[in-house]
Amino acid sequence: MVLALTLIALACNPGDRLLDLSAKLPRAVKTVDVLISVEPFYARLYLYQPGFPDSSQSCCRNQPSSVLKLPVIDGRFCIKQSQSQMKWKLQIIGRPDEEI
């Protein structure tokens, strides 16, 4: 029973996507800068840690692209789209002092 509750808490909300970057990010990285592009420009994209939808950050309010600084806990993020037919692209921006 405890395992089932733990799995539910670490999942994304229904309809949201799980993005797993844990294998691509070094463990020493605590935050990442993510460049997000959306089409159409008025669409929004929300990113949050699995199990914590209240911690979501929104992107691209009437702009075609935006940069978000996201905390890295386990390298997994949930993505929620404001529109089902929208297109989006994520790109991690490297910092000179960190290797990704």
Number of C-beta neighbours around residue 35 at 10 A: 14
pLDDT digits (tens, 9 = 90+) for 25-72: 888 888 888 999 999 989 999 999 998 888 889 988 889 999 999 888
Per-residue pLDDT at 90 exceeds 60: yes
DSSP-assigned letter for residue 82: S
Which DSSP helix (H) or strand (E) runs through 17?
strand 17-20
Separation CA 76–CA 49 (nearest Å) = 7
Structural domains of the chain ordered from first start: 2-93 (2.60.120)
- Mapping DSSP to helix (H, G, I), strand (E, B) and coil, where does residue 70 land? strand
The amino acid present at 37, given as its one-letter code, is: S
Whole-number average pLDDT of the chain: 83
Phi-psi region of 95 (alpha: psi -120 to 50; beta: other; left: phi over 0): beta
pTM of structure:
0.78
Which DSSP helix (H) or strand (E) runs through 92?
strand 87-93
